[in-house]
Structure 1
């Protein structure tokens, strides 16, 4: 790791104000020790809690009723989902995604939090020898897919983003999308005094939300692989899934605490931390293809502002001039709409701009990849896609099939080393301590991390090994 980069990461420890994206990078940095991360996690969480009002958190006053309360919430979500299905059956349109472009935008904007999926429970694995934490650890290793890439939640979501060609869009997100993952990763490295907050956060996160059910349905309807979202519907169930295990863990650990009132107060704080940052519901309400298309065009303008012909003049300026600054690109798009080069809410084939970028004979053919073209197509078509009789175009994406054909020709010395160490170590505690660093949020979805997760499961949850 470059010295300058490491120095920048460590400087975050002393900064009172830092971006959430920087915090995520800090916690995901493999070159920073757990001790240093724990110190940062503690100060960051204390600040987040200090500026938060947890008094408004909906939580059962009677702790013995928590399981019934969660079951009732679950039932209410399912009833609302049935109402949604009935509306769709009666001819109503999609309620989240008007088109594929909007679905792409949603997946991009939830990517930072999905890449931290389950991370808040990492701190629990250090208590592997204490049975009271076993339920929480089981949830964590199941989030890790028991060490199988096709079931590891981060691997599954990364594969989806790569298959759809959305990885570059994630790099261009605003800082607000990193607030919630920063909290999750801070909980991953939180010291022991934050155990109740972690339990409360987990209780909130393992609830079945309506938006998850509808998202799963509409993505599948649009022809987008919804496996990641379906995983969370099946594995988080209240009967024997993560929601059930979360309640069991809460009850066990609650019984061990002497100061019950303090414990519940901290549980509520953890529960409330779940609502910090942008939620999926908020992201869904604020989908804006206009802004996403502008981002695409501004990125292309950086490369294209010197190569257009000076013969094409629009409003007394050559195309190269219009593309010279990000601000002028936005005005240029308005001019293209005004000059009817782009006809919004109409068949894109009636737009000159679409023909230029999508037809083989078009002068801009090949400038935009298939993912970008799908977003632009849906932006131009707009509300027309919802109308009966309009046959929308689905741009064929390049299927990378990276999962099926992935193979490294480079020797994984790190994996060979840990395999040798585990084989040579007879003591279970030593084996586990060697495995734990590779179960960390930055590592568990790597080749070494997946192997270490499998061994951890074999040692601690042999009954889960059959599921692999």
Structure 2
């Protein structure tokens, strides 16, 4: 074929040769331009990378590996095979995001305002510690709401598995994953056939969607914030004794919580700010200039009131509801509260949703940075990602409860896991979802795209059948009565819909279903607020057109669109009696025991003692200095409470996710990882561990400070207990008791006390954890090596962040850091 083409190429006439030469020249110029642009972009990326290797004072920093994306504000070119969609009808298929609150019911708007206030308090938890009971009440309300809805048709939900079976659970999750994948495959087929975008009709719509979705994205990972902490013990929903009569063992809960905690560690970037999901989303909003802007021109972070630039009564109610649900269950995820529910929520939330796939694709199509959404497609994979990790944690816990507490106890835990799963599945997290389109032919013979009817959607409900009968009966009398109305219901005017010569039951059903989506003409569930009903009443445009009984048919139809379900008490009826927070009576008589009873309360917010003149030091000198205790003989029983409480210093930082997406938060996360045995020195090129760390053998090798404490207990012949309340009760009044109480006070307000906490942590490393007398008590060399590694990691992390703060001239922070160190050093020297 090539040889045959050559002669004809050379036999072209002169005019065609001239045209060809011009075409070749243009092609060469195009290639040169492309190469020049590529070189320029590569150079720009390298410049950005070099710039970002330096420390920055800004919350938003550009990742060296992901240079800024210049947003193209022009509309993407339509494909040649696309069936044209009339602009207005096409846009009408999508909800008006700017009026989401206005079109919501009065009840939903009122609830949204309360959720906004609760959201802000939880994002600033340390200043509102008294909000915990309110969060608990709201969480139970949401359990009631989502459970009652799912119980109406349990066959389509996880409730279809009445008794836990690992095979049934895996098959259910696999089916859910396959369903999302098949829907996406069908979506790609529709787009390839020329169908329009189904998530974002315009670029402007996408940008508004991203802004309104920020409320949920600013708590990303927060649903497991309290899953692992010093208060973890046996789940409160389980019996106090095992089948063998032993009691209060909570090692299973701690192992499972540690498995689940790995998910939020990766959500938060494993200590690397560039990988933190909230940081990525905040950077996206900053790039598109969405939301309220600060004085420096950057987007307001999620812990600020009005970060979205909207009034308190504006926004998307369902997004605020979903965000608050994540905050509440994360806050109350400990074994003392809703531990199994949090595991179930995590398992559902980490599954792959169809809308995420569509969102990632269409944002890329609109030339909007989609990386935040794209990484969730990969990181949440069902084989080795967050989806698999969440399932493995649930399986481990249920099997462990069955072995330890028996079949009946496991059944109760399974119901609670199901409740958490239903909560995540039942609350939409986005301002709007995809709208599937199908080709249809208009009466004029033109091809258009219109929203696809849902499966089984042609079968009318009883309320629809009654209204169809009324409308068809009225059609002849109403002929030509709507000629002056330009309002469209879906694709057509009312006059065209109700043309008696072409009216059928099927067309009338389509009309009232299109009418049901017309706001504020119809407000589902609220006929008294629907303009359709008001138009039928005295003073309305249609007064007298419908009889009283016919008006009742209209009202019944509107009510049927959102039936009122009595949900209160559904959760407790489903899982059994629930212990109330008010049932917990504090009878403790020491400072340490009082705080152990209620880890949320701030009992004493007074600062630690100020420095004396001769105790002032340079912050950078402290991490590099020698250990200040060299005692070879240590009374471990005396300092044992300090050892365990020292593991808790940083655990409240993640409970305020938006504040956590900062250099301070990432330094804290690295320290948490080290304390847990995961390793703190996370490198930028590291990838997510995924399920690599979840094997039994790997977990047994991954000891943290708590597990090392249990080994110290063993070597000193002390019975270990995961119950901090028991630990506190057995700690006599005195210096150790008071020291532990103050550590818990500092822990309760992490961002206010951050500098002091870092200083105290350093003192604990140098005075307690590196003490050779204690190291020598560990019987295995593996444990001694692990402890030395943890100490080295923590000192290196603290030194790095301290240098960062000193470079930024954070004098107040530096003083607080030294003050915390010197105070803790003084206390440790007094008891060692």
Q: Same fold (TM over 0.5)?
A: yes
Indicate which of 207, 215, 240 corresponds to 1:112.
215
Query: Contact 1:149/1:155 (CA < 8 Å) preserved in 2?
Result: yes
Per the TM alignment, residue 109 of structure 1 is displaced from its structure 2 partner at its CA by 1.9
Partner residue in 2 for 1:40: 134
Indicate which of 145, 164, 167 corresponds to 2:288.
164
Indicate which of 423, 426, 442 corresponds to 1:273.
423
Per the TM alignment, residue 43 of structure 1 is displaced from its structure 2 partner at its CA by 2.1
Stretches (4+) displaced over 6 A? 416-428
Please show how residues 309-328 of structure 1 align to structure 2 within 5 Å.
none
Query: Contact 2:355/2:433 (CA < 8 Å) preserved in 1?
Result: no
Partner residue in 1 for 2:353: 209
Per-residue CA deviation, residues 83-110 of structure 1 (Å, 9 max, x unaligned), is: 2222222322222112211111211221
For structure 2, the residue ranges without an aligned partner over 5 or more in a row are 1-110, 233-250, 293-306, 437-485, 487-617, 630-641, 688-832
Q: 1:418 to 1:233 in 2, by over 3 A?
A: farther
Q: 1:112 to 1:211 in 2, by over 3 A?
A: same
Please show how residues 212-291 of structure 1 align to structure 2 within 5 Å.
212-257=356-401, 258=405, 259-280=409-430, 282-283=432-433
SS state of the match for residue 195, structure 2? coil
Answering whether residue 328 of structure 2 is matched by residue 186 of structure 1, we say: yes
Per-residue CA deviation, residues 432-458 of structure 1 (Å, 9 max, x unaligned), is: 322212222243212211111122223
Query: Contact 2:673/2:679 (CA < 8 Å) preserved in 1?
Result: yes
Indicate which of 343, 346, 369 corresponds to 1:199.
343
Please show how residues 4-403 of structure 1 align to structure 2 within 5 Å.
19-32=114-127, 34=129, 36-52=130-146, 53=148, 54-55=150-151, 56-57=153-154, 58-59=157-158, 60-61=160-161, 62-64=164-166, 65-126=168-229, 130-168=254-292, 170-172=308-310, 173-174=314-315, 176=317, 177-190=319-332, 192-257=336-401, 258=405, 259-280=409-430, 282-283=432-433
Query: Contact 1:146/1:453 (CA < 8 Å) preserved in 2?
Result: yes
Q: 1:220 to 1:182 in 2, by over 3 A?
A: same
Partner residue in 2 for 1:304: none
CA distance in 2, matches of 1:418, 1:277: 48
Query: Contact 1:438/1:448 (CA < 8 Å) preserved in 2?
Result: no
CA distance in 1, matches of 2:621, 2:324: 32
Q: 1:17 to 1:240 in 2, by over 3 A?
A: closer
Per the TM alignment, residue 421 of structure 1 is displaced from its structure 2 partner at its CA by 9.1
Query: Contact 1:106/1:283 (CA < 8 Å) preserved in 2?
Result: no
SS state of the match for residue 226, structure 2? helix
CA distance in 2, matches of 1:246, 1:425: 43
State TM-score, norm by structure 1.
Answer: 0.62
More helix per residue: 1 or 2? 1
Partner residue in 1 for 2:248: none
Per-residue CA deviation, residues 104-153 of structure 1 (Å, 9 max, x unaligned), is: 12112211111111101011131688222222100010010112121111
Q: 1:261 to 1:430 in 2, by over 3 A?
A: closer
Query: Contact 1:37/1:189 (CA < 8 Å) preserved in 2?
Result: no
Per the TM alignment, residue 27 of structure 1 is displaced from its structure 2 partner at its CA by 0.8
Query: Contact 1:109/1:283 (CA < 8 Å) preserved in 2?
Result: no
Q: 1:421 to 1:253 in 2, by over 3 A?
A: farther
Query: Contact 2:382/2:388 (CA < 8 Å) preserved in 1?
Result: yes
Query: Contact 2:118/2:324 (CA < 8 Å) preserved in 1?
Result: yes
Per the TM alignment, residue 463 of structure 1 is displaced from its structure 2 partner at its CA by 9.2
Query: Contact 2:653/2:668 (CA < 8 Å) preserved in 1?
Result: yes
For structure 1, the residue ranges without an aligned partner over 5 or more in a row are 1-15, 287-337, 339-415
Q: 1:418 to 1:82 in 2, by over 3 A?
A: farther
CA distance in 2, matches of 1:281, 1:425: 56
CA RMSD of aligned residues (A): 3.4
Partner residue in 1 for 2:789: none
For the pair shown, which has the larger CA radius of gyration, 1 or 2? 2
Query: Contact 2:228/2:261 (CA < 8 Å) preserved in 1?
Result: yes
Answering whether residue 588 of structure 2 is matched by residue 450 of structure 1, we say: no
State TM-score, norm by structure 2.
Answer: 0.36
Query: Contact 1:81/1:214 (CA < 8 Å) preserved in 2?
Result: yes
